[in-house]
Chain A
Amino acid sequence: MSNRILLVEDDVALGQQVVQTLSQAGFDPHWVQDGDAARDLDPDDYRVIVLDLMLPGTYGMDLLKRYRVKSEVPVLILSARDDTADKIRGLKLGADDYVTKPFFPEELIARIQACLRRPNLVGTERLVVGAIQVDLERREVSNAAGSLSLTPVEFEILALLARRKGSAVTREALVDAALDPAQDGSRRTLDVHISRLRNKLGKDAIQLETVWGIGYRLSGGA
């Protein structure tokens, strides 16, 4: 699928910056400067739409309504007004998220990536996180070195981290998901299991990160 992103933003300086940011992040931005010009574009031609609200011509909310009639493409609102009513209205009309101005370019990219990530979270039986592959149905784990022999607890820990790939998962959540509270289901026990899991992952253990104050994260997924 293409990386085309529609940017509807009337401010020239901000528009240029955003176009540059999107391009640097590997996206293919199509910049439109007024609402009327954006009216007749097909939203399904884009992976994400970044929409300013205060536009000349057709108002941003009206564009959002129009797009939502025929498309489910993720829409990210750029809001200059710190007004709850605007944000809530946008979200109720079907926007996926919003970014309040002023924002750092990295924040915008992070929110766009979050929009793109969301639909892929559910209904997957085989998870691939970097070099690590987790088959949830067969309860098998493998990496470049081959199949790994994990205990049930280690598998549950790795499966939960793989389902939430790239996101930090708390120790409490891992304990609840993988350990039996009646049999020493403590955080210290979890750390022992994690240590063993890292040993089994070998050189891919670097993907299993400790997240300060939270727990662990399995990184390296696209």
Chain B
Amino acid sequence: MKLRARLALTLGLATISLLVLLGWAQSRWQSKMRVDALAEAAVHRMESGGRERCEANPERWPGERGARRLRRPPGPPRQALPRHRVFAYDAKFVSANPDSPAFPSELARQLRAGSEVATDRSPDQRRTEVAVRMPWTEGPCSVLLMRSKGPPSWFSGAVLMPAFLVALVVILVALFAAGPIVRRVRQLTDSVRGLGSDSEEPIHVEGNDEIAELGAAFEQSRQTIQAQLASLREREAALRNYIANTTHDVMLPLSVLQGHLVSLQQRIEAGDALDANSMVPSLEESQYLGSLLHNLNAAARLEANDGLSHRDPIDLNRLAERVVDRHQPIAKRKQIGLDVAVPQAAIEFPGDLTLLEQALGNIVQNAIRYNRANGHVAVILEGSVDRWALRVVDDGPGISHADRERVVEPSFRGSEARTRHPHGMGLGLHIASDVANRHGLRLELRDTEGGGLTVELIHAG
């Protein structure tokens, strides 16, 4: 059922209920007033000579005319005295007048129970019967019975018809008055339906009532949902981009690796003698692939968060040793000396274990990958918990000053960082720089004394 019809019907039913209740209450009140008026009039009549006339001739009292001659007692009028008939009875409810009806048993019960006035409706519900005990108990006229028509029952047409008419009017008024409300609700409904589409239309309902508040709440929700949708789309685009870039980045070293393996196979088929160094390029490329995937994973994590998702106490001594152990096999195969020195007491630092290890791993890997045969790489951790430096020193070719500044710029991101420039150091050093920034560390690149590059992660305390 529509809102307007429901509202009108509700108001109509409420009005009918209220009016019927009022009608019933008024009917009861009128009935009581009638009874009181009849009782007072009966007592007044008897005390003003009626008793003497009744007791003088009880067989005929009150007679044809007297039966309807009950008059209003003196005093302010309170209730119109209804037309009625009156009959006299003795204290045992027996009338000397043979025309009198038998005294109603219910009224007799009430009077015996001690009431001065008893009232009831006739068995056909059409008359009101009132019995009044006179101030005396002797004689044939000590109880009067009066019978009058009505009053109409509370549910009669006289009460219900006006109620229905009023209810009808209320319903019509409600239907008319609910129009603007319904229009605003429909406006709100249309706006909310628009949420499903890509509409940027804001939800707005005029006014300052509850419907307007509802509209404002919907608008707030719309903005939240749209922001979340935008974020999800952004993430989805980033994920697609990540997959595409990862595929591209992995394909390159994979192709190089395949090339090395094919070359090896051809040499074997041609009967060439293979030495220990024959496999080095393949092994190096396979390690580069693993490192690249770790880097891409780290880059995705760094792009997804502004800060750090983990901060646990990290044993930097062990981290440095682990990174050196990881790169030692390739360094040996490339005849590059790789050594690590850590202080005797462990240095703990709160940070993201994976990211810090990846950052140091990138620096060490670059130092090995772009070094020369018989070159050297040294990883040195010095200082204490409050102030330390983690230094990777190499005697390789180093990188230009311009490139050093570029790779540590915060804006050096995305595809530019992913390329192998310079010499493939881009992504690795960029990640190292980003990780350092997030840990409050300083990343410095400088020339090694005697040639080469020194990269230092510094915790200045």
Complex CA gap A103/B341 in Å reads 22
Asked if B287 contacts A104 (CB within 8 A), the reply is yes
Chain A minimum-CB-distance residue to B330: A104
Asked if B312 contacts A217 (CB within 8 A), the reply is no
Asked if A211 contacts B341 (CB within 8 A), the reply is yes
CB distance from A109 to the nearest CB of B (A): 9
Q: Does B354 contact A (CB under 8 A)?
A: yes
> A211 with B354: in contact, given A169-B341, A173-B343 (CB under 8 Å)?
no
Q: Does A97 contact B (CB under 8 A)?
A: yes
Q: Which residues of A contact B341 (CB under 8 A)?
A: 167-170, 173, 211, 214-215
Contact partner, B355, options A84, A104, A110, A111, Cβ 8 Å: A84
Asked if B309 contacts A84 (CB within 8 A), the reply is yes
Interface string of B59-86 (1 = CB under 8 A from A): 0000000000000000000000000000
Chain B minimum-CB-distance residue to A111: B325
Asked if B376 contacts A164 (CB within 8 A), the reply is no
Q: Which residues of B contact A170 (CB under 8 A)?
A: 341, 380, 382
Chain B minimum-CB-distance residue to A89: B312
Q: Does A181 contact B (CB under 8 A)?
A: no
Q: Which residues of A contact B330 (CB under 8 A)?
A: 104
Q: Which residues of A contact B326 (CB under 8 A)?
A: 100, 103-104, 107
Contact partner, B286, options A102, A111, A163, A169, Cβ 8 Å: A102
Which residues from 131 to 152 on chain A have a C-beta closer than 8 Å to any C-beta of chain B? Answer: none
Contact partner, B339, options A88, A107, A163, A217, Cβ 8 Å: A217
Which residues from 313 to 354 on chain B have a C-beta closer than 8 Å to any C-beta of chain A? Answer: 318, 321-322, 325-326, 328-330, 332, 337, 339-344, 352-354
Asked if B329 contacts A107 (CB within 8 A), the reply is yes
Q: Does A40 contact B (CB under 8 A)?
A: no
Q: Does A85 contact B (CB under 8 A)?
A: yes
Q: Does A119 contact B (CB under 8 A)?
A: no
Complex CA gap A163/B345 in Å reads 13
Chain B minimum-CB-distance residue to A103: B326
CB distance from B25 to the nearest CB of A (A): 75
CB distance from B378 to the nearest CB of A (A): 3
Asked if A213 contacts B393 (CB within 8 A), the reply is yes
Chain A minimum-CB-distance residue to B393: A213
CB distance from B325 to the nearest CB of A (A): 4
Asked if A212 contacts B339 (CB within 8 A), the reply is yes
Asked if A212 contacts B329 (CB within 8 A), the reply is no
Interface string of A81-106 (1 = CB under 8 A from B): 01111011000000001001011111
Contact partner, A84, options B343, B354, B395, Cβ 8 Å: B354
Contact partner, A107, options B294, B297, B328, B355, Cβ 8 Å: B328
Asked if B380 contacts A214 (CB within 8 A), the reply is yes
Asked if B355 contacts A82 (CB within 8 A), the reply is no
Q: Does B290 contact A (CB under 8 A)?
A: yes
Q: Does A172 contact B (CB under 8 A)?
A: yes
Q: Does A114 contact B (CB under 8 A)?
A: yes
Asked if B378 contacts A214 (CB within 8 A), the reply is yes
> A212 with B290: in contact, given A107-B326, A164-B344, A168-B340 (CB under 8 Å)?
no
CB distance from A113 to the nearest CB of B (A): 9
Asked if A84 contacts B380 (CB within 8 A), the reply is no
Chain A minimum-CB-distance residue to B293: A82
Complex CA gap A6/B48 in Å reads 127
Chain A minimum-CB-distance residue to B376: A212
Asked if A87 contacts B328 (CB within 8 A), the reply is no
> A97 with B322: in contact, given A83-B354, A169-B341, A212-B337 (CB under 8 Å)?
yes
Contact partner, A87, options B343, B353, B395, Cβ 8 Å: B353
Residue with the highest number of chain B CB atoms closer than 10 Å, among A87, A107, A111, A215 = A107
CB distance from B387 to the nearest CB of A (A): 14
Q: Which residues of A contact B337 (CB under 8 A)?
A: 211-212
Q: Which residues of A contact B395 (CB under 8 A)?
A: 212-213
Q: Does B310 contact A (CB under 8 A)?
A: yes
Complex CA gap A82/B290 in Å reads 11
Complex CA gap A102/B283 in Å reads 12
CB distance from A124 to the nearest CB of B (A): 14
Q: Which residues of A contact B298 (CB under 8 A)?
A: 82
Residue with the highest number of chain A CB atoms closer than 10 Å, among B287, B339, B343, B448 = B339
Interface string of A209-222 (1 = CB under 8 A from B): 00111110100000
Q: Which residues of B contact A215 (CB under 8 A)?
A: 341
Which residues from 46 to 96 on chain A have a C-beta closer than 8 Å to any C-beta of chain B? Answer: 82-85, 87-88
Complex CA gap A83/B290 in Å reads 15
Chain A minimum-CB-distance residue to B448: A213
Complex CA gap A167/B312 in Å reads 27
> A211 with B287: in contact, given A88-B310, A104-B330, A164-B344 (CB under 8 Å)?
no
15 sampled A-B residue pairs with Cβ under 8 A: A82-B298, A84-B312, A88-B310, A88-B353, A103-B326, A106-B329, A107-B326, A110-B328, A114-B321, A170-B380, A173-B382, A211-B339, A212-B339, A213-B394, A215-B341
Q: Please give me the 7 A-B residue pairs with the lowest Cβ-Cβ distance, nearest first.
A: A213-B378, A104-B329, A212-B376, A110-B325, A84-B354, A168-B341, A213-B393
B residues in contact (CB < 8 Å) with A = 283, 286-287, 290, 293-294, 297-298, 309-310, 312, 318, 321-322, 325-326, 328-330, 332, 337, 339-344, 352-355, 376-378, 380, 382, 393-395, 448
